[in-house]
Structure 1
Amino acid sequence: MFHIGDKVFYPMHGAGVIEAIEEREILGEMQQYCVFTIPSSNMDVMIPMKNMRKTGIRQVVDRNTVKEILFDFHNAEPDCQLPWKERFKQNSDKMKTGEMQDGAEVVRDLLFRMKEKPLNASEKQMFTNAKKILISELSLIKDISEMQAADMLEITH
C-alpha cells in the first residue's frame, strides 16, 4: 500500500512524492484518493487509491537497483539494429511498462543512435520524454537535482 511521503513513479509522467491521502465524495461516492506531486513537470495528480496499481504507479526503485541500471546504461551494448518503425514500437512498448530499466534502455539506445545520425522527429520526442522521466526518478531516488541526475547519465542538458 502507499503512504504519505512515499516516493512513487507514474509511467509516462515521472517520479513524485505522495503529499496526501484524502477521502472525497465524487459523483455521490466516497473514495480515498492519493494526491502526489511530480516535480519535474510541476504537476499535481489525484488518483483513486483503488486505481493506483491499475495505472502502473509503483514505488521508485531502490539505490542498489539504480546502481545496476546505471552500470548497464554505461556498459551494455545498445540495441539499434531494427528498422526505425520496429525500433519505435519496441521503445514505445518499453516506455509503457513504467520500469526504470526499460526507460534507461530506451534513453541509452536512442542516445547511441543519435551519435551516429540525427533522430527523426518521433524518436527525438521519445528521447526527450524518456530522458525527462528517467532523470525525474533518478533525482528523487538519489535526492539530487535533475541537472545532477542528467550528469550521472552523461547527457548534456
Structure 2
Amino acid sequence: MTKSKKSEFRPNDYVVYPAHGVGQIVSIDKEEIAGIPLELFVISFEKDKMTLRVPTNKATEIGMRSLSSPDVIEKALTTLKGKARVKRAMWSRRAQEYEQKINSGDLISIAEVVRDLHRNDEQREQSYSERQLYEAALERLTREVAAVAGGDEVAAAKQVDEVLLSRAA
C-alpha cells in the first residue's frame, strides 16, 4: 500500500459515499476482523443517524470521493436547467436507471434524475415511486451543494429550487 493512498481522506473531511451521499470522516480506526488487521474510515452520516466503516484500501475502489469542486456544482446546476429527457421505456426499467444514477455518487447523474423527475404545478402528478426517487436525488444533490458551500442546507435547497423554477417549462 502506498502512503499517498491513505492520506487522500482525513478525519473531519466530507466525502461522498456512492450509496449514501455526503458523510463526514470521524476517524480512522484500526480493528481486527476475522483475524485480519484492517484500517477503517469511520464515516458519519448525521442526517441518516448512521455510521459506516469502510476499509481504507477499498475506499477509492468502491467509489468514495471528495466533495465536488465548485465548477462541478455549477455544471450540475446547469444540468438542472436542461429539458427533461424521459425515455419511452417502461417505468420499472427507467426507475432502475434512475436508482443506478442516484447510487453512482456522480453529481451530474444525480442532477439528471432531479431534472427528469421534477414536476411543475401544472404538470401531472408524480407516482409514489417517482416522488421517492426524485426526493432521494434532490436530497443527495442539495446535501453536496450545501457541503461544498459551507454547510447551509436551507440555502442550498433554495438555490436548487430557484434553478428548477427558472428553467423553461
Tell me how large the CA RMSD over aligned residues is: 2.1
Q: Distance in 2 between matches of 1:15 and 1:124?
A: 21
Give the deviation of 1:119 after TM superposition: 1.5
Q: Which moved more, 1:32-41 or 1:98-107?
A: 32-41
TM, length-normalised to structure 2: 0.81
Any runs of at least 4 consecutive aligned residues in structure 1 with deviations exceeding 6 A, and if so which?
A: none
* 1:53-86: CA deviation from partner (whole Å, max 9, x where unpaired): 233211111112111211221x211112424334
In the alignment, what sits opposite 1:98? Answer: 105
Q: Which moved more, 1:113-122 or 1:146-155?
A: 113-122
In the alignment, what sits opposite 1:66? Answer: 73
In the alignment, what sits opposite 1:38? Answer: 45
Query: Unpaired runs of 5+ in structure 2?
Result: 1-7, 165-169
Matches within 5 A, 1:1-157: 1-73=8-80, 75-83=81-89, 84-112=91-119, 116-154=123-161
CA contact (8 A) 1:40 1:132 kept: no
Higher relative contact order (CA 8 A, sep 6+): 1
CA contact (8 A) 2:25 2:43 kept: yes
Q: Distance in 2 between matches of 1:81 and 1:29?
A: 47
TM, length-normalised to structure 1: 0.86
Percent pairwise identity: 25
| Aligned residues between the structures | 155
CA contact (8 A) 1:15 1:137 kept: yes
Q: Distance in 2 between matches of 1:109 and 1:153?
A: 14
Query: Unpaired runs of 5+ in structure 1?
Result: none
Amino acid at match of 1:119: Q
**Rg (Cα) greater in structure:** 2
